[in-house]
Amino acid sequence: MPQSRSNTDFVCNSKDEQDVFNILGIVYGSALFLGFMNCSILQPVVAMERVVLYREKAAGMYSTMAYAIAQVPININDQHVLGKSSCSDRNNRLGTDYEPKVYVLQVSVELPYMLVQVLIFSSIVYPMIGFQLTAGKFFWFFLYLVMSFMYYTLYGMMTVALTPNIEIAMGLSFLIFIFWNVFSGFIIAREVQHPTYELVEKWIESISELMKSPNLTK
Amino acid sequence: MKPNQSMYLMSEVKLLQMMPVWWRWVYWADPAAWTVYGLMFSQLADRTEKILVPGLGEQTVRDFLEGYLGLQDRYFELVTCLHLAIIGLFAFLFFLAIKHLNFQRR
């Protein structure tokens, strides 16, 4: 083999800072790429689901689930005035019993998909990178990937819900992803903050050097 | 160590110091940066092997993470909690938006 060290060598037997940067690159890739993909694949599906929701809502099948979260107190209050409720009220209340399930379903239907995806991905990638095969570290890796998938998925769903159509939703999410990408700590390394006076000193110094330089006078 | 390698690193360090301080908060407004932080820190923070860092000599992996990449011990729990918080926030905004906004066209 032309290479003197294999991948598995890397964490067990680090040689220089390049090895750490390799790991950083893998981590960056797995934290961003899969999430982006998942989010953009999911958006058209969620947009379709919303159209279906509008239709069902108009047909009186159920109303919105946010009742379940935002209007819990209101529903509790309604219970007290059950006696004098009108027919439409009763229908509405009947509906709200079923409503929560719809949106909880929409979020939780992503969960098994996400978990299986992360499980497959991490069980292949984790030993390939050469990370230590201990339960604790694998758990952290798995947990962080699941959480990252979860916010990407919910972010995709949120942008669809916030915008009138899928094109705007995709544009918005890609715009934000550019910022997430650039400032994720890989492209521009995140480093410990330098005191401001140090920066000022540096600027003053460089300007004074420039003034002194013969290039300027010639 | 090759000389051009160390020069590259030094110039990079210089460039980073030029980045205005007031842009630093963006790292903390970025969920992807939290994930990278959490993954890197959980995997490599307990490593104490020496690695060769151009310009700085031998350093432990942990010191390198802390000094160059800025991955510190004290923010690890915060980063984990931030993940859960942003999941909650996005879910809440999704519910809120789908309830109150109606983009239905007839």
pLDDT at residue B82 tops 90: yes
Distance CA A98, CA A208 (A): 73
How many whole angstroms from its chain centre is CA B6? 24
Say what the ipTM of the complex is.
0.79
Q: Touching check for A159 and chain B: CB below 8 Å?
A: no
Handedness of CA A101, A106, A109, A110 (dihedral sign): negative
Contact B48, B60 (CB under 8 A): yes
Written as six digits, the tokens of A167 are 């094109």
Handedness of CA B94, B98, B103, B106 (dihedral sign): positive
pLDDT at residue B38 tops 50: yes
Dump pLDDT digits (tens) for A11-33. 545 567 777 888 888 889 888 88
B47 to A14: CB separation less than 8 angstroms, yes or no: yes
Report residue A70's pLDDT band, with 50, 70 and 90 as the boundaries.
very low
Dump pLDDT digits (tens) for A44-58. 888 887 887 777 777
- Chain B: residue nearest A129 by CA? B43
Q: Touching check for A16 and chain B: CB below 8 Å?
A: yes
Percent of chain A with pLDDT over 90: 17
Chain B residues with CB under 8 Å of A11 CB are 43-44, 47
A65 to B99: CB separation less than 8 angstroms, yes or no: yes
Residue A60 confidence (pLDDT):
64
Distance CA B42, CA A50 (A): 38
Helix-then-strand count for chain B, H and E: 5, 2
Distance CA B19, CA A218 (A): 31
**Probe site for chain A from B99, B105, B106 (most A CB atoms < 10 A):** B99
Q: Touching check for A185 and chain B: CB below 8 Å?
A: yes
Distance CA B86, CA B97 (A): 16
| Partner residues linked to B51 by β-bridges | B59
Distance CA A188, CA A186 (A): 5
The DSSP string of A141-198 is HHHHHHHHHHHHHHHHHHHHHHSSSHHHHHHHHHHHHHHHHHTSSTTTT--PPPPHHH
> Taking the model in full, what pTM does it have?
0.71
